[in-house]
Amino acid sequence: MTAAHDCIFCKIINGDIPSFKVFEDDKTIAFMDINPVNPGHILVVPKAHASNIFEIAPDDWAACMVNAQKVAKAVQQVLAPDGINIMQANGTGAGQSVFHVHVHVMPRQSGDDLKMNREYIPGDMEEIAQLAEKITTALLEQ
């Protein structure tokens, strides 16, 4: 795996900083977003460092999308949101803030008025931990 020196997601992948991991395979990892747009917001991340959609190897991107589908099904089962956005940002103008490519699985509620370039609002870590456990179980049952 390639890793970038100062990349927060590489540190999560290497276990140097903690995360609420819900899924892992040889090419990807999925963990809870700690500033969730709504409860159950998850990031699907390639293990090999790549900054954005232009750099990621096609097979790593394919693995991210296959696993975003799996994660979305588990989120739907556990939280039954009104909708889910699958989203990926490239560049600051598009709202990218972490330059290790990642796919957002964003549960949505009707009327939540989500903006694409949003401010981070830290979530309740206890709630995030509990949801991580439920979503991990739902993924194992797929």
Interaction site with ligand 5GP (CB under 6 A): 8, 19, 31-35, 43, 89, 95-98, 120
How distant is the alpha carbon of residue 121 from its chain centre?
A: 16
Q: What is the largest CA-CA distance in the chain?
A: 41
- Residue 49 binding partner per list Zn ion, ligand 5GP, none, with a CB distance cut-off of 5 to 8 Å that depends on partner kind: Zn ion
Task: Find the angle CA(139)-CA(45)-CA(122) to the nearest 5 degrees.
Answer: 85
* Residue closer to ligand 5GP (CB basis): 98 or 140: 98
**100: annotated active-site residue:** no
42 vs 78, beta carbon nearer ligand 5GP: 42
Q: Give the Å distances, CA to CA, from 90 to 25, 53, 93.
A: 24, 7, 8
Nearer to Zn ion, 51 or 77 (CB): 51
Catalytic entry in 49, 100, 102, 104: 102
Q: Return the residue nearest ligand 5GP (CB atom).
A: 35
User: CB of residue 5 vs Zn ion: minimum separation in angstroms?
Assistant: 9
Single-letter amino acid code for the residue at 115: K
> In angstroms, rounded to a whole number, what is the distance separating the alpha carbons of residues 62 and 109?
27
Which residues form the catalytic set? 102
